[in-house]
Structure 1
């Protein structure tokens, strides 16, 4: 009889895309498997998961709002309602296992599954685990992590170091530069800069790009600019008049963007780092300075120490980022060196390892 699996979580691409990669690997290894996602209503998983071909149920749930205490008054009610929704979904679907990838919706789903004795699995992409995953890890069947040293968050016997799952299309996209550049309507004979700040956006990166976008053409640089959702319209308005600029709030075919890029400017979230290692691109990381325990700086510094990436601190972005972009654009030997050092850090089969272990546990 075909197995059934629920995958819960989302909120950002760093949670959603590994979840979809795991789902695809499960289907490849067990073609008859039934997979259902659970996310948070109003979050990006409600769009991205159906685009990937999977059914998703949305919960009425939200996180704690640190900027407005009044907005948290309805939180207990939303949490109770989400648990009732989870109970109904799980009891109707009767999963053989539940996988949590982080985000608001993962906690009530895994907590309920653990109460019913259903095997639960956690994927923690970051070097600093989230509070929900730490609590859930105590009763999880296994915890899949990207790096060593996670015993401070999870029971040592449950940890498996797998790396972070990267979408297969990104793994396969290496070497398709000219066709990928034309996909964005740009000139393959020019240097292609890819600027990404995550699915929600990175204000400091976007503001820096907006301030210098008019200068790129004189340096023979073409730009693929993912602004993220926050402030997208003003950034699109800024970039669209220039023929050497492709700009939008989101890049749906990220494999083509990586394949096209000669230089990348990016935040240093765990999934961005994993994808850029696989893509093997010269990258300037600008870590988000307010991430828990400053883990994005830790991620970026790990690569910078190995001469696999450049690092510009967020506080230095106005003074240093554009000169670093120009330096990298004009120094072919530096680009080659960065590519040679970043490629050995790539993990291309984490999704397959995770899927195989889950199927082994529930066989």
Structure 2
């Protein structure tokens, strides 16, 4: 029986890659592997992970607030408490391996494991590594990355290019387009743009849609749009569309069937979080990225740039997306050859077996 701790959280971009690897471990080893997740108290993983059937332990870890706040004074004490608790969790669980996926909780767990002689593996989702992973990489046995060129941040001999592990099945030909168009009530033969801003929503992309819809002055939109507003902005955007109706727009807080959304779309406008980028590679969709400026090390811009430099995406800065993104999208939709070229280029970056590749590396480390 092998005992493996998986740690990552704070956002879905850290949680779901960890869950995807957990699922791959269970497929590979069944009852011969015991898994334990370690997260941060009060963060979304403490709810999401148990709902998926996995056991999780929470640490009192917290990060520094960007603004000057008194809570920052407590962070060093929380870090020390978290490291002590991580040691106890590793010891009581009898961990043979710790795998870190980023987020607050993974740092103290990896730090403790490395000092206890427990082998560790790091999975870095982004094209620009965070400070914590760069420090912890020195003691890691393997670093699994989703982008080339990561020797800028990590020891070259430890890097393995695996891709980002995803839950669910995303593919270029998984869902019939006609079925997807019918799901959204769209007309065949007309172009479709998918605007997606995450579960909570993205103010910039919603403002972009408002600006564009106002410029149309009502009637029929020149393209059909799947507009995912996010939960936080749902009522506001529903009220806006009711006051400024335009035909050909599907609007919703969530998209329950992302496979349909991808199948229907000719072009995607999206943030450039690591998991979103990986999904778009698998479905081979031309994409216009609007990176979030509110993330550590501006890693979304670097993710988007890594694809744009390969001719696999376009990039519009957040500061100008409200007025420039939709005109750029419409211009691109009129160029069939450019769409085909971008689709080919982004598909070439896809790694559909990322979770299995990471499990391969975990096994190699444990055998060593």
Common fold, TM-score beyond 0.5?
yes
Deviation at 1:159, TM superposition (A): 1.6
Q: Which runs of 5+ in 1 are unaligned?
A: none
Deviation string, structure 1 residues 83-136 (Cα, Å, up to 9, x no partner):
344344333322221110001111111112222211111001112211111121
Contact 2:205/2:322 (<8 A) preserved? no
Distance in 1, Cα, partners of 2:101 & 2:109? 11
- Alpha carbons 1:239, 1:245 under 8 Å: kept: no
Shift of 1:14: 1.9
1:78-157 matched pairs, under 5 angstroms: 78-157=78-157
> 1:23 corresponds to which residue?
22
Assess, with a 3 A threshold, how the Cα gap between structure 1 residues 43 and 171 changes in structure 2: closer, same or farther: farther
Which residue pairs with 1:223 in the alignment? 225
Is the CA contact 2:207–2:322 (under 8 Å) kept in the aligned structure 1?
Answer: no
Report the Cα distance in structure 1 between the residues aligned to 2:81 and 2:213, rounded to whole angstroms. 47
Partner SS for 2:139: coil
Task: Show the counterpart of 1:296.
Answer: 300
Counterpart secondary structure, 1:163 = coil
Aligned pairs for 1:240-259 (under 5 A) are 244-248=249-253, 250-251=254-255, 253-259=257-263
Number of equivalences: 360
| Secondary structure, aligned partner of 2:311 | coil
Moved more, 315-324 or 48-57: 48-57
Report how far residue 144 of structure 1 moved.
0.9
Secondary structure at the residue paired with 1:30? helix
1:287 Cα offset (Å): 2.0
Cα distance, 1:206–1:76 mapped onto 2, change above 3 Å:
same
Aligned counterparts of 2:48 and 2:241: Cα–Cα separation in 1: 25
Q: Equivalent residue for 1:187?
A: 186
2:347 match = 343
- 1:11 aligns to what? 10
The answer for unaligned runs of 5 or more in structure 2 is none
Q: What TM-score results when the alignment is normalised by the length of structure 2?
A: 0.86
Residue equivalent to 1:162: 162
* Matched-pair contact (CA < 8 Å) for 1:195–1:266: yes
2:174 equivalent in structure 1: 174
RMSD after superposition: 2.8
Once the two structures are superposed, what CA deviation does each residue of 1:1-25 show, in whole Å capped at 9, x if it has no partner? Answer: x212111011222212221221122
Matched, 1:320 2:324: yes
TM-score (norm 1): 0.87
User: What SS does the aligned partner of 1:133 have?
Assistant: helix
Relative to 1, partners in 2 of residues 1:275 and 1:289: Cα closer, same or farther, differing over 3 Å? same
> Structure 1 residues 218, 330: CA separation in 2 closer, same or farther (over 3 Å shift)?
farther
188 and 69 in structure 1: CA distance in 2 versus 1, 3 angstrom threshold:
same
Q: Which range moves more in the overlay, 106-115 or 158-167?
A: 158-167
* 1:36 correspondence with 2:36: yes
Contact kept, 8 Å, 1:186 with 1:222, in 2: the verdict is no
